[in-house]
A and B are shown apart, each in its own frame.
Chain A
Amino acid sequence: MKTSLLITNIILTLFLTSCSSQRFLPLAEDVGQNPFGAYIEVNLDNSGIAKGELLGIDTVQNTMTLLVWPKNSPRKPITFPLKQIRGYKVQYAKTPNYSWTIPVYAASTISHGFLLIFTMPLNLVTTIIVSVNGKRNFTYSNKNVDLQQLKMFARYPGGIPPNVVLSKL
Chain B
Amino acid sequence: MTKLNKIKHPSQKTIGIPLSKRSLLWISLLFLSFSFGCKKYFFRANYSKANKVLHDTKNLKEKPFLKAHLKNGDVCILHDSWKIDTIANLLSGNGTRYDYQRSTAVDNNFSLPFDSILLFETNISIKGAEAGRLATLGVLAGFDVALGVFCISNPKSCFGSCPTFYLKPEDNFHFADAEGFSNAVAPSLAYGDIDALNNPRLNDSVFTLTMRNEALETHCIKDLKVLAVKRAEGERVYQSKDNQFYRCKNTYPISRATGAEGDVTSLLKDHDRVERFSKANSRNLKSKEEIILEFENIQQLENPGLVISFRQTLMTTYFVYSAIAYMGEEVTDYMAKMEKDKNIESKLIHGLKGELGDLDVYVWDETNSVWQQQGGFYETGPIAVNRQILPLQTAGKSSKLKVKLVMNKGLWRVDGITLTNILENVKPTELSPNLVLRKGKEDRNALLKIQSKDEHLVSMPGNEFTFTFNIPEAGQDYEMFLYSKGYYLEWMRTSWLKDKNKWKLYTMFQHPTRYLKSEAGNYAKYEKTMEQEFWNSRIDTKTFTHYEN
Residue numbers of A with Cβ under 8 A of B are: 28-29, 31-33, 35-36, 93, 96, 98, 101, 105, 108-109, 111-115, 117-119, 121-123, 125-127, 129-130, 133-134, 136-141, 143-145, 148-149, 151-152, 155-158, 160-161, 163-164, 168-169
Contact B125 A29 (CB under 8 A): yes
Shortest CB distance A39–B (Å): 14
Contact A133 B36 (CB under 8 A): yes
Closest 10 CB pairs of A and B: A113-B158, A32-B123, A111-B148, A32-B65, A158-B118, A144-B10, A161-B73, A35-B98, A158-B119, A126-B31
Chain B residues, Cβ within 8 Å of A121: 19, 24
Name the residue among B130, B174, B533 with the largest chain A CB count within 10 angstroms. Answer: B130
Complex-state Cα separation, A9 to B363, whole angstroms: 60
Complex-state Cα separation, A139 to B10, whole angstroms: 8
Contact A31 B123 (CB under 8 A): yes
Shortest CB distance A128–B (Å): 10
Contact B144 A126 (CB under 8 A): no
- Name which residue of chain B comes closest to A149, CB basis: B5
Contact B126 A130 (CB under 8 A): no
Complex-state Cα separation, A160 to B72, whole angstroms: 9
On whether A152 and B215 interact (CB within 8 A), knowing A114-B173, A115-B151, the answer reads no
Contact A111 B151 (CB under 8 A): yes
Contact B75 A152 (CB under 8 A): no
- Name which residue of chain A comes closest to B76, CB basis: A35
Contact of A32 among B27, B35, B125 (CB under 8 A): B125
- Name which residue of chain A comes closest to B39, CB basis: A137
Contact A157 B121 (CB under 8 A): yes
Chain B residues, Cβ within 8 Å of A126: 28, 31-32, 35, 136-137, 140
Shortest CB distance A37–B (Å): 9
Contact B160 A36 (CB under 8 A): no
Shortest CB distance B473–A (Å): 32
B506 within 8 A of A: no
Complex-state Cα separation, A93 to B102, whole angstroms: 18
B269 within 8 A of A: no
Chain B residues, Cβ within 8 Å of A105: 137, 140-141, 144
Ordered by A's residue number, 7 sampled pairs between the chains whose C-beta atoms are within 8 Å are A35-B96, A105-B137, A111-B147, A123-B144, A129-B32, A157-B119, A168-B101
On whether A133 and B10 interact (CB within 8 A), knowing A114-B215, A155-B102, the answer reads no
Contact A123 B125 (CB under 8 A): no
Contact B130 A122 (CB under 8 A): no
- Name which residue of chain B comes closest to A92, CB basis: B44
On whether A152 and B100 interact (CB within 8 A), knowing A125-B28, A134-B133, A160-B73, the answer reads no
Contact A108 B32 (CB under 8 A): no
Complex-state Cα separation, A144 to B38, whole angstroms: 15
Contact indicator per residue, chain B 169-183, by CB within 8 Å of chain A (1) or not (0): 000111000000000
Chain A residues, Cβ within 8 Å of B5: 148-149, 151-152
On whether A158 and B44 interact (CB within 8 A), knowing A119-B144, A130-B133, the answer reads no
Complex-state Cα separation, A36 to B101, whole angstroms: 9
Name the residue among A118, A149, A164, A168 with the largest chain B CB count within 10 angstroms. Answer: A118
Contact B158 A112 (CB under 8 A): yes
Shortest CB distance B103–A (Å): 9
Contact of A98 among B8, B137, B155 (CB under 8 A): B137
Contact B158 A28 (CB under 8 A): no
On whether A133 and B160 interact (CB within 8 A), knowing A93-B126, A126-B140, A158-B118, the answer reads no
Chain A residues, Cβ within 8 Å of B123: 31-32
Complex-state Cα separation, A98 to B134, whole angstroms: 10
Q: Within residues 367 to 418 of chain B, which ones have a CB less than 8 A from any CB in chain A?
A: none
- For the complex with contacts A32-B65, A129-B15, 11 further pairs of A-B residues with Cβ separation under 8 Å are A108-B148, A109-B144, A113-B157, A113-B160, A114-B159, A123-B144, A133-B133, A136-B10, A151-B4, A155-B102, A161-B73
Name the residue among B4, B125, B147, B534 with the largest chain A CB count within 10 angstroms. Answer: B147
Chain B residues, Cβ within 8 Å of A155: 75, 102
Contact A157 B152 (CB under 8 A): no
On whether A141 and B102 interact (CB within 8 A), knowing A33-B65, A121-B24, A157-B69, the answer reads no
Chain B residues, Cβ within 8 Å of A136: 10
B17 within 8 A of A: yes
On whether A118 and B21 interact (CB within 8 A), knowing A157-B119, A158-B118, A164-B73, the answer reads yes
- Name which residue of chain B comes closest to A56, CB basis: B73
Complex-state Cα separation, A113 to B118, whole angstroms: 64
Chain A residues, Cβ within 8 Å of B193: none
Contact indicator per residue, chain B 98-133, by CB within 8 Å of chain A (1) or not (0): 101110010000000000001101111111011001
Chain A residues, Cβ within 8 Å of B71: 161
Contact A164 B69 (CB under 8 A): no
Chain B residues, Cβ within 8 Å of A114: 158-160, 173, 214-215
On whether A32 and B64 interact (CB within 8 A), knowing A113-B151, A125-B17, A129-B32, the answer reads yes
Chain B residues, Cβ within 8 Å of A164: 73, 100
Contact of A36 among B46, B102, B158 (CB under 8 A): B102
Contact A113 B159 (CB under 8 A): yes
Complex-state Cα separation, A169 to B101, whole angstroms: 5
Shortest CB distance A137–B (Å): 6
- Name which residue of chain A comes closest to B65, CB basis: A32
B456 within 8 A of A: no
Complex-state Cα separation, A138 to B71, whole angstroms: 28
On whether A134 and B130 interact (CB within 8 A), knowing A109-B144, A157-B69, the answer reads yes
Complex-state Cα separation, A165 to B127, whole angstroms: 36
Shortest CB distance A92–B (Å): 8
Contact A133 B144 (CB under 8 A): no
- Name which residue of chain B comes closest to A144, CB basis: B10
Q: Within residues 18 to 44 of chain B, which ones have a CB less than 8 A from any CB in chain A?
A: 19, 21, 23-24, 27-28, 31-32, 35-36, 38, 43-44
Shortest CB distance A45–B (Å): 24
Shortest CB distance B42–A (Å): 12
Shortest CB distance A6–B (Å): 11
Name the residue among A96, A98, A157 with the largest chain B CB count within 10 angstroms. Answer: A157
On whether A129 and B98 interact (CB within 8 A), knowing A32-B65, A149-B7, the answer reads no
Complex-state Cα separation, A138 to B130, whole angstroms: 11
Contact A31 B7 (CB under 8 A): no
Chain B residues, Cβ within 8 Å of A101: 137
Contact A152 B151 (CB under 8 A): no
